[in-house]
Structure 1
Amino acid sequence: MSNFSPIVGSDYPFPAKPTVLSEQEKLDYKTKIKQLLIDKDAVLVAHYYTAPEIQALAEETGGYVADSLEMARFGRDHSAKTLIIAGVRFMGETAKILTPHKTVLMSDLEATCSLDVGCPIESFSEFCDQHPERTVVVYANTSAAVKARADWVVTSSIALDIVEHLDSEGKKIIWGPDRHLGGYIQSKTQADMLMWQGDCIVHDEFKASALRDMKAVYPDAAVLVHPESPESVVKLADAVGSTSQLIKAAQELPNKQFIVATDTGIFYKMQQVCPDKEFLAAPTAGDGATCRSCAHCPWMAMNSLKAIYNALTDATGHEIHVPETVAQGALVSLNRMLDFAAEQQLKVKGNA
């Protein structure tokens, strides 16, 4: 059964495009940041969708580049007193909730996510209150307040397993906010899911008709698709999965060319682990005014070396704070996910 809440947040306040740094400026900022990370006992944790130079810097300095689930784990378990999160706001909030004793900085606190913006706590909470018999499962791309309202938090890498688990227990589910990911999971599990109607502006723009045309030009290319994409695009995929799962698919599939339907920031890591393969961006709505993201999140683009340097130099306006009552509620749903993931890993090791 699939039902629908009203679509919320169809128009977003897009940030200005960041200033492009010269290669010398990038080198200068990297040198300064490396020293600041040492001085402040800080570690840089970056998402796959950030700029290549940021991902490279995280790797060079003992930090981490990962999807949001692994970012959360790394930040929680690392010994550094300060975490600087290169990503979007919900990732910084998650880090603070899991490690309240640490200082958590972001290069720009205004770096948000259309899924977060499109799922305001007041409206979502009212929606949940109308269906008290349902278990509330929310995607990680949500505010701390929405996580606190939820029973479970999931990331795209573990959402399918968790919903399958809940369905096996006979649970009826409220799912929020990504309608495409929710629809994909429902198609795989046949779970009873009541959907909130949010979407990611990057993945929602991929077009099946244009993808078929591109596939005709590159007939030997495998198609990799993130499940936040429309169903018509997912149906054309050779592999569907989270960022980390798509990177693994690129390594394991024998194809030498790949058409990739997710944020192009992932190309840095894909090219790094598959230097002999070619990666092509899946078509969106096209360049210019009709294209809101052109396959790169405008809020992820707010992360820059200059902004990271500024955050490490003066934390004012860069530090994440989460109200204690909200953090306590969100920690419950986050820990359910992390504990479930840990149990899954133990099962895999036990069967190896």
Structure 2
Amino acid sequence: MTASYQVGTRPESIEAICVPAHPQQDVLSGEARRAQLQQAQDQLARRGAVLVAHYYTDPLMQELAEISGGFIGDSLEMARFGAETEASTVVVAGVRFMGETAKILSPNKTVLMPTLAAECSLDLGCPPDEFAALRARHPDRTVVVYANTSAAVKAQADWVVTSSIAVDLVAHLHAQGEKILWAPDQHLGRYVADQTGADMLLWDGACVVHEEFKAQGIERMKAVYPEAAVLVHPESPKPVLALADRVGSTTQLLKATQDMPQQQFIVATDRGIFYKMQQANPHKTFIEAPTAGNGATCRSCAHCPWMAMNQLDALMQSLQGDQQEIRVDPELRERALVPLRRMLDFAAARK
């Protein structure tokens, strides 16, 4: 019988750790857009830098990554690319834990971010000292942490996972009779427990974007678009997962839009992914799943406020110095590298 528990101390309110979204970049004319992208591309080249952008960043940032020889992907793919690139400088357009991961895997490279203020609610909601106290109370459990954590939390883990490999990894550990201590996303953890039957002790954390998707909103959207398939990221609450035609990581959902026959998709994840979904399926329609429920105040509107801080002007400023450089203590890096390497080796063995 699976035992699934919820532990940890969440912030008193999500608003306490959520920052306002960066103002949306003004719509540029085609000529102005090309000029701005060219300027940023030239600056990357002068610095000998490669841009690695997450699917949730601004479309302009993703386009720059494409035309400059960089990379767009989820956190696992970003980690792989950052470690394998020959560039001496890696610019990570995403949130802080992604920059830390790049630095842990590539200590001899300079790792920059457009802004170090780009945080993650899951990371902020799992303080290293509180997590250490929980670990000490459950020494019999294998510690598995989501990539959306600080280097200090990763350094305490046996394994690091991303949403794309979480089910497979926990199934592997469960088959060996191991009990799991999981942090920090409770919704992803509960989904993994349901899929694998593993005994999982869950930290009480959530993503400010995915927790806002509500089943009633998606049901109403389905009534308007009855032929649409529902795509849901597993960081979403369980009632939302129950409505999904496909549950998966950002990369898995992108692939689903190409594999599935439907021409319309209701997408319950950060709307930044629409750039690649539309690019891969120009004749299909993608609909943003509603957030915050009936009468509630939308805090993220299906877009991470910290991801929104990755703007071209901030990127170009970061390339001019080292004010936005990611640094990780060498001893902490060595400890965090162990579970990260295990993740990459496990993922590579599944290919």
Above 0.5 in TM-score?
yes
1:264 aligns with 2:271: yes
Match of 1:327 in 2: 333
Structure 1 counterpart of 2:10, which letter? V
* Contact 1:29-1:309 at 8 Å conserved across structures: no
1:3 aligns with one of 5, 12, 32: 5
2 CA distance for matches of 1:72 and 1:149?
A: 19
2 CA distance for matches of 1:275 and 1:287?
A: 32
1:135 aligns with one of 103, 117, 142: 142
1:144 aligns with 2:151: yes
Structure 1 unaligned blocks of 5 or more? 346-352
1:23 aligns with 2:25: no
Q: Write the deviation string for residues 257-284 of structure 1: whole angstroms up to 9, x where unpaired.
A: 0000000000000000000100001111
Moved more, 50-59 or 17-26: 17-26
* Contact 2:179-2:200 at 8 Å conserved across structures: yes
* Contact 2:6-2:186 at 8 Å conserved across structures: no
Match of 1:315 in 2: 322
Q: Write the deviation string for residues 25-55 of structure 1: whole angstroms up to 9, x where unpaired.
A: 6544322211111111100000000000100
What pairs with 1:161-176 in structure 2 (closer than 5 Å)?
161-176=168-183
Q: Write the deviation string for residues 84-119 of structure 1: whole angstroms up to 9, x where unpaired.
A: 000000000000000000000000101010000100
Match of 1:280 in 2: 287
Match of 2:346 in 1: 340
Structure 1 counterpart of 2:222, which letter? K
1 CA distance for matches of 2:127 and 2:98?
A: 17
* Contact 2:18-2:121 at 8 Å conserved across structures: no
1:74 aligns with 2:81: yes
Report the secondary structure of 2:38's partner residue: helix
Structure 2 counterpart of 1:301, which letter? A
1:203 aligns with 2:207: no
2 CA distance for matches of 1:68 and 1:231?
A: 23
Deviation, structure 1 residue 325:
1.2
Q: Write the deviation string for residues 230-261 of structure 1: whole angstroms up to 9, x where unpaired.
A: 00000100000000000000100000000000
* Contact 1:86-1:303 at 8 Å conserved across structures: yes
2 CA distance for matches of 1:323 and 1:288?
A: 46
Tell me the number of residue pairs that the alignment of Structure 1 and Structure 2 aligns. 344
Match of 2:300 in 1: 293
Structure 2 counterpart of 1:4, which letter? Q
* Contact 1:26-1:305 at 8 Å conserved across structures: no
Q: Write the deviation string for residues 312-338 of structure 1: whole angstroms up to 9, x where unpaired.
A: 12222x000001111111100000000
* Contact 2:52-2:82 at 8 Å conserved across structures: yes
What pairs with 1:80-229 in structure 2 (closer than 5 Å)?
80-229=87-236
* Contact 2:183-2:203 at 8 Å conserved across structures: yes
Structure 2 counterpart of 1:244, which letter? T
Match of 1:349 in 2: none
Structure 2 unaligned blocks of 5 or more? none
2 CA distance for matches of 1:29 and 1:313?
A: 16
Report the secondary structure of 2:319's partner residue: helix
Report the secondary structure of 2:274's partner residue: helix
Report the secondary structure of 1:62's partner residue: coil
Report the secondary structure of 1:54's partner residue: helix
* Contact 1:6-1:197 at 8 Å conserved across structures: yes
Report the secondary structure of 1:279's partner residue: strand
1 CA distance for matches of 2:4 and 2:301?
A: 30
1 CA distance for matches of 2:241 and 2:17?
A: 28
After TM superposition, the score normalised by the length of structure 1 is 0.95
Q: RMSD between aligned alpha carbons?
A: 1.4
2 CA distance for matches of 1:306 and 1:139?
A: 30
Report the secondary structure of 1:23's partner residue: coil
Deviation, structure 1 residue 300:
0.2
Report the secondary structure of 1:292's partner residue: coil
* Cα gap change, 1:38 to 1:158, in 2 (>3 Å): same
Report the secondary structure of 2:182's partner residue: strand
* Contact 2:213-2:293 at 8 Å conserved across structures: no
Deviation, structure 1 residue 21:
3.6
Match of 2:40 in 1: 33
1 CA distance for matches of 2:77 and 2:320?
A: 27
